[in-house]
Amino acid sequence: MERSFLMVKPDGVARGLVGEVISRVERRGLKIVAMKMLRIERKLAEQHYGEHRDKPFFSSLISYITSGPVVAMVVEGKDAIKVLRTMIGATNPGEAAPGTIRGDFALEVGRNVVHASDSPASAEREISLFFDESEIMSYSRAGEEWVYEE
């Protein structure tokens, strides 16, 4: 099993899309093992998006992600990182396929509703930025035998 970091960004929370995002994750068979609502402080935002520090959109990205509460999650399941990236869709919602979260609910790259880790290294880094190991739960979901072959 693999873990990824998933976040509903301030626009997603403000637009009432938290339940929609969570329900897609749950219906897919993925397991939410940690979750919190928080207002991201500037320092955490700059760490989270550190790889984009030198990009022209960095300051607007930081303003956006710190502009209101977000819902941060750790999601576990088979190929969770790749599966969630496919479920959220292309970074620019204008290019995101219908059926993806961005392709169904967003139009602009600066208001793209969700974040999901793009690699195992990012997932590990992002999970540890937002969660203590003690906040990550271990439990079985009913019906797992119908999601996984064995």
Of the two residues 11 and 76, which places its CB atom closer to ligand DAT in the complex?
A: 11
Q: Which stretch binds ligand DAT (CB under 6 A): 32-40, 66-74, 104-112, 142-150?
A: 104-112
Of 30, 62, 115, 131, the catalytic one is 115
**How far is 59 from 142, CA to CA, in rounded Å?**
44
Measured CA to CA, the distance from residue 49 to residue 37 in angstroms comes to 18
48 forms part of the interface with ligand DAT (CB under 6 A): no
50 binds ligand DAT (CB under 6 A): no
Tokens of 111: 């208001």
Active site residue 115: yes
**In the structure encoding, which two tokens stand for residue 99, read together?**
């059926």
60 and 110 in contact (C-beta within 8 Å)? yes
**Residue 102: is it exposed, middle or buried by C-beta count within 10 angstroms (0-12/13-18/19+)?**
buried
Name the DSSP letter for residue 116.
E
- The answer to the question of residue 120 lying near ligand DAT (CB under 6 A) is no
If binding means CB under 6 A, how many residues of this protein chain bind ligand DAT? Answer: 9
Is residue 94 close enough to count as binding ligand DAT by CB under 6 A? no
Does residue 129 bind ligand DAT (CB under 6 A)?
no
User: Which residues are known catalytic residues?
Assistant: 115
